[in-house]
Structure 1
Amino acid sequence: MPIETKDLVLYESERLTDNDDGGGKYNGQIIVDGQSNNLFDDVSELDRTMGDVSMRKIFPAVTTNDTDKLMGATVFISENPKDPNVSALLFSTKNWTDERRSAQNRVENYLAKGGQIAGTPLDTHWLGMKQLQVALFPQETESSVGDTIVMVSNEGKALEHEQYLRITKVETRTAIMVIDGKNVEYKIATYMLNDALDQDYVGLSARQWYDGQASTTIIRDSIVADTGEYCASVGLTGDAVVGEYTVNAESIFTQLIPSAQTESSIVDVNAAGESTILVPGNNGLITANFPTTVGVNQNLYIGSSVMPSSLTFTLFGQPITDQGGLLKNSVGTQVGTIDYQRGLIQWTAAATTGPTTLVITFKPAAAPNQYFQSYAVPVTQNNQSTNWTGVLVPIPSPGSLSISYMSQGKFYELKDDGSGQLKGASASFGSGRINYETGSWLLTTGALPDVETPILLLWGTPIVTFVRSNLSVDMAAFEFDLGQLGIAPGATVTWLLEGVTKTAVSNAQGKFTGDATGEINYATGMGKIIPNKLPQKNTQFTVIYDYGNQLTQTKSAVAPDLNQKLSFTIGNGAAIQPNSVELKIPVTDQLSLNSGIAIVFDVPIDSTNGNLVNDNGDVQGTINYSTGAVEVTPVLIVKMFKQAFEPTTMFGSA
């Protein structure tokens, strides 16, 4: 009779457990189909949290009353677990009697021992250590971060033991030992390991290693062994159609060994570290009305960052203030929270609900990005305690300080809530405070910090910023250069604005009047125009002007008085055109070591008098346009850099 589906069965092994002796030979008991937990134990809460690898050995067989042959068989997983955190795989050791420990070795032996690598363990490395020191010759290359090495003790003997370890950090240094009166250099490599040593590993002293003695412990490289072939089932990304030669699977990977490691991509992060701090955007307060509906599911955006401890408003007759990011009424009940950086208010269930208009007063803030200021306090055996104090310079900005410490190998962090209090995610982490006026800080840790670890402080400071809200905003000016000298008064500038022609004309003093203000220097042909109404994009200005030959004159034998003031007359007796004078005056210092040319030009005060100023606008003299009389005290500032050598006393001893 033919072999039917009911004739295909799975037999149990001797022991369906995860003990080392689990598995073994088959016991003749058929695994009941469709019965819950008939092969594996149910997933416990502990296994779901910590992870677990459960193995069971089964035997496929055919049970019939005749001698018909099964021409072929395929074992596969027809339905995957519904829980995505649980996966099922099949693999065979091709052994009818082996136990679980043999199958476990197949899984663990993804990596196998390779050849011996450079480096001999120095002295004894004790159980629990996570560092390994090896001695190498200077020309030998140490292992790299990420390499997996195999520590082998008593290789080839009855007490042989091996451990696979991954290197997480490598440090090298040069050491010197004296042999036969000569200095011999060698290299010491220190490897940080991902796991602690599972036993004591005996090495050699530096002298024994140099003499070539055999070490009890050697280090081998690891190679990929691929000792197992695993089979699983995965879903398809789309329906498979008859006639197609390919199907698309969701993945070619599945879970085998539980791991607590995950990958997190970090992009657009400065290696030096940046912090977002809050600095006042204005010295005063802003009051604004915000129609809103108060409720747990309703948020309110103020539209600006807010300085901590500056927010006040009245909610249904109750005065509300912010205290470290919490909105509280006069009796201390929390009615909401405030995100200072985003200006976001979120209400709690304790807040009275309903529509209202809030009149909110607050100090606006800006949130510039800046590099962290950092400070570390080392923890030693002499100063180990739970209370720590100090003074931070520069002074932190409110809400920017964070303090971290390590206890029992784990970091704990406390942050400034904006009111000067340092709080952690739990009150057990500790507490502290920061004074924004003096920069002094106090930290009480929840546990003793570990010795040889730092108390790390990171903060931002408002010193690198300044308030611009009180600065005046100048009107948009358009500078021009006519490319000619000796411009005549009455230059006309025209442009189009909203289809209407606008005009500005320069007067005798070089000032523009009309639809724009501004000025022009008739001597140089340079000036600027400030339209009364901002022009549109791509507006073209047309300048109509007359120019002539520029007059020049040289004055000689002009001696300064006791105050270094020069007095002389320019021109030929006729009145001088205002805003057309430029003087170039040679100057030298008192020691005649440095010299240069001081350039000043006239800025009319009225039609008769004007000031002589330099490029910085500093007034250095006056001019009378009617007579040409000039009084000027020229000043030229030149920056020069010179090397300066200072004698220093050095003391040495031998």
Structure 2
Amino acid sequence: MPIETKDLVIYKPERLTDNEDGGGKYSGQTIEDGLSNNLFDDISELNRTTGDVSMRKIFPAVTTADTDKLMGATVFISELPKDPNVSALLFSTESWTDERKAAQNRVENYLAKGGQSAGTPLDTHYQGMKILQVAMFPQETESAVGDSIVLVSNEGKALQHEQYVRITKVETRTAILVSEQKNIEYKIATYTISDALDQDFVGLSAKQWYNGEKSTTIIRDTLVADTGTYYSSTGLTVDANVGEYTVNAEGIYAQLIPSAQTESQIVDVNAAGESVVLVPGNNGTINANFAVTVGTSQNLYIGLSVMPSSVSFTLFGQSISDQGGLLKNTLGTQVGTIDYQRGLIQWTDSAGSGSTTLNITFTPAASPNQYYQSTAIPVTQNSQSTNWTGVLVPIPAPGSLSISYMAQGKFYELKDDGSGQLKGTSSSFGSGRINYETGSWTLTAGALPDVNSSILLLWGTPIVTFVRSNLSVEKACFDFQLSEGVATGVTVKWLLEGVEKTAVSNAQGKFTGDAAGSINYATGKGKLIPNKLPQKSTLFNVTYNFGTSLEQTKSDITPDSNQKLLFTIGTGSAIQPSSIELSIPLTDSTGTITRNLTLTDIPLNAISGNLVNSAGEVQGTINYSTGSVEITPASIYKEFKQTFTPMTVYGSA
């Protein structure tokens, strides 16, 4: 008789549970089709958050009154769960009697034991430990981070036990064993493992290992077994048509074991870390008016960064000032918060509500990025404590220090709020202070830091900056270098919007025409400042005459009581302005440091000019008609020396 759809059934096992004894033998009871939760339980909110693996054993069968066979039978999942976070897969253990624990082992046995690994466990490693210490010869290679190994206790015996672990950290050191009055060097590798040991694993002492005794516990490498085969279904990206040889599936992968690990891309972050340090953008405070609507759903952007402890204004008759990022009135009631870097004010319920105009007084700030300074203080069994102190060099800038510590495997961070107080997102994290004058800091951790962790400190330092708010904006100029000994009348031509522009230098070395600027005829160095900025890739054509510069050496010049020098240069005829360069040797008061000072002339008119140094400081004058020079040369030389001062330190036992 024909086999119909109603003859295809699924039988239950002995137990439809996720307990270790779930599954079992064939029960003879059918699973009724079309009922909710007839095979799997509902997914709880906890399992939806943390993930879960549920396994059920089933027995597909054909029930007919005769012995007809169903040829080419296939079991498949015809409809996938609608929730994309839920996957359904089929696999077979090819056993009629096994239980869930055996099926689970089949899934987990992605790795199989391999050859014996280098190293023998030292002494006894107790249940719950997550560190494994092994001994090996110096020429042997220790396992690497990420390797999976298997610990085998009593291998080949009735009490054999195995545990697979993954190595997360490796440290090695050289140790010395004394045997028969000889020093024997050997290597000790300390592995930090992913899972705690599930029982005691007995090893050997260093001497037993060196003497070749057999260890109760050995370490083996692992091999990828990948013996399981899993089946599921997937949708098509495009509907398939009759006669097609290729179809495009949405994917070939399915979730087997839930994982809490995700990948997050981090961009525009320097590997060395950067800290934002606020520096004053003005020498004093400024006032600004803001028409605002005050309320918990309204924010106020000041428009620029603000220095901590510089904000004050009046709100609905209350005097408000900032304290460590909090806006408080004179009674200490918090009416809002301020983000100093962004200049953002957010109101609380205590601020009230309504429209008003605020006249805010504050010191503007700039927020240049700089690399972190960092230091770490190891937490050992001897130093483990909730109270920590230290001194930071260089001294942190206000609001830049953060201190992190690890307790029970979790990091907690406290940050400087700009007033010198260290706070965490919760008061339970602890508290502390930083002194901006001495760099000394204190920390009271909210929990005892873990041994073998570190107290990590990160901070930025005050940056040397210049307030540019009152500086004039210099016009764009083009520097150029010609031959030495240039004659007057240097001509520069260029095209601007199809029109030729021209600038010519006069006797004083100044450019006139379509550009300003100057040129030193002696050195040939000059700069051109066009009246209108040229276009990109503009070509300047320079026409000039030059010759050999004249040189003179003046000796036996004695300065007067004010260190003023008087002498005459030239051959008696008038000297070309913007063509003079003087090199004057200087010696300090001790006679140990000698430097040459270079002065060049800047014409004031056709008759006289100033003699200036490279910084533009006037140090004398020259008369071009007579060659008379009058200068008071000076130069500053800085040298840093270490000075050691004895100090008395008192201690108590």
Q: TM-score range by the shorter chain?
A: 0.7 to 0.9
Deviates most, 607-616 or 6-15: 607-616
- Note the 1:208-219 alignment, pairs <5 A: 208-219=208-219
Change (3 A) 1:188 1:567: same
The answer as to whether partners of 2:279 and 2:463 remain within 8 angstroms in 1 is no
The answer as to whether partners of 1:123 and 1:203 remain within 8 angstroms in 2 is yes
Q: Give the secondary-structure state (helix, strand or coil) at the position aligned to 2:38.
A: coil
Change (3 A) 1:503 1:94: closer
- The alignment status of 1:81 with 2:81, answered yes or no, reads yes
* Displacement of 1:150: 0.6
Change (3 A) 1:250 1:465: farther
Q: Give the secondary-structure state (helix, strand or coil) at the position aligned to 1:105.
A: helix
**1:561 corresponds to:** 558
Deviates most, 318-327 or 368-377: 318-327
- Mapped partners of 1:78, 1:345: distance in 2: 57
The answer as to whether partners of 1:285 and 1:362 remain within 8 angstroms in 2 is yes
Change (3 A) 1:595 1:347: closer
**2:526 corresponds to:** 527
Structure 1 alignment gaps of length 5 or more = 641-654
* Displacement of 1:337: 4.4
The percentage of aligned residue pairs carrying the same residue is 75
Q: Give 1:191's aligned amino acid.
A: Y
- The alignment status of 1:579 with 2:561, answered yes or no, reads no
Q: Give the secondary-structure state (helix, strand or coil) at the position aligned to 2:406.
A: strand
Change (3 A) 1:189 1:268: farther
Q: Give the secondary-structure state (helix, strand or coil) at the position aligned to 2:112.
A: strand
Structure 2 alignment gaps of length 5 or more = 640-653
**1:402 corresponds to:** 402
The answer as to whether partners of 2:522 and 2:549 remain within 8 angstroms in 1 is no
Change (3 A) 1:117 1:543: closer
- Mapped partners of 2:334, 2:500: distance in 1: 62
- The alignment status of 1:552 with 2:550, answered yes or no, reads yes
- Note the 1:161-310 alignment, pairs <5 A: 161-290=161-290, 299-310=299-310
Change (3 A) 1:276 1:597: closer
Q: Give the secondary-structure state (helix, strand or coil) at the position aligned to 2:104.
A: helix
Q: Give 1:429's aligned amino acid.
A: F
* Displacement of 1:144: 1.2
* Displacement of 1:339: 3.5
**2:643 corresponds to:** none
Deviates most, 89-98 or 337-346: 337-346
Deviations 1:491-534 (A, max 9, x none): 56666778888776645433445665433323344322345665
* Displacement of 1:156: 0.8
Q: Give 2:285's aligned amino acid.
A: L
Q: Give 2:3's aligned amino acid.
A: I
* Displacement of 1:243: 2.8
Deviations 1:314-353 (A, max 9, x none): 5666665544444556666666544333334455677666
* Displacement of 1:147: 0.8
The answer as to whether partners of 1:296 and 1:347 remain within 8 angstroms in 2 is yes
* Displacement of 1:79: 2.4
Q: Give 2:18's aligned amino acid.
A: D
- Mapped partners of 1:467, 1:636: distance in 2: 26
- The alignment status of 1:509 with 2:529, answered yes or no, reads no
Deviates most, 251-260 or 41-50: 41-50
**2:422 corresponds to:** 422
Deviations 1:352-378 (A, max 9, x none): 666666554433322222221223344
Query: What is the TM-score of this pair, normalised by structure 2?
Result: 0.85
Change (3 A) 1:330 1:599: closer
**1:476 corresponds to:** 476
Q: Give 1:519's aligned amino acid.
A: S
Deviates most, 99-108 or 525-534: 525-534
Deviations 1:218-269 (A, max 9, x none): 1111112223211122333333333322333333222222332333334444
Q: Give the secondary-structure state (helix, strand or coil) at the position aligned to 1:204.
A: coil
Change (3 A) 1:638 1:460: closer
Change (3 A) 1:530 1:421: same
Change (3 A) 1:596 1:106: closer
Q: Give the secondary-structure state (helix, strand or coil) at the position aligned to 2:463.
A: helix
* Displacement of 1:35: 1.8
- Note the 1:577-616 alignment, pairs <5 A: 577-583=576-582, 600-616=599-615
The answer as to whether partners of 1:608 and 1:625 remain within 8 angstroms in 2 is yes
**2:651 corresponds to:** none
- Note the 1:344-423 alignment, pairs <5 A: 344-346=344-346, 359-380=359-380, 384-423=384-423
**1:455 corresponds to:** 455
* Displacement of 1:172: 1.7
Number of residue pairs matched? Answer: 637
- Mapped partners of 2:46, 2:535: distance in 1: 71
Q: Give the secondary-structure state (helix, strand or coil) at the position aligned to 1:184.
A: strand
**1:645 corresponds to:** none
**1:158 corresponds to:** 158
* Displacement of 1:154: 0.4
- The alignment status of 1:53 with 2:53, answered yes or no, reads yes
Query: What is the TM-score of this pair, normalised by structure 1?
Result: 0.85
Deviations 1:616-637 (A, max 9, x none): 5566665333323346688899
- Mapped partners of 2:596, 2:351: distance in 1: 74
Change (3 A) 1:318 1:569: closer
Q: Give the secondary-structure state (helix, strand or coil) at the position aligned to 2:209.
A: helix
Q: Give the secondary-structure state (helix, strand or coil) at the position aligned to 1:104.
A: helix
**1:651 corresponds to:** none
- Mapped partners of 1:592, 1:323: distance in 2: 55
**1:646 corresponds to:** none
- Calculate the aligned-residue CA RMSD, in Å: 3.8
The answer as to whether partners of 1:523 and 1:550 remain within 8 angstroms in 2 is no
Deviates most, 526-535 or 440-449: 526-535
Q: Give 2:31's aligned amino acid.
A: I
Change (3 A) 1:466 1:16: same
Q: Give 2:221's aligned amino acid.
A: D
- Mapped partners of 1:318, 1:287: distance in 2: 18
Q: Give 2:169's aligned amino acid.
A: K
- Mapped partners of 1:249, 1:472: distance in 2: 66
- Mapped partners of 1:423, 1:586: distance in 2: 59
* Displacement of 1:282: 2.4
- Mapped partners of 1:153, 1:129: distance in 2: 16
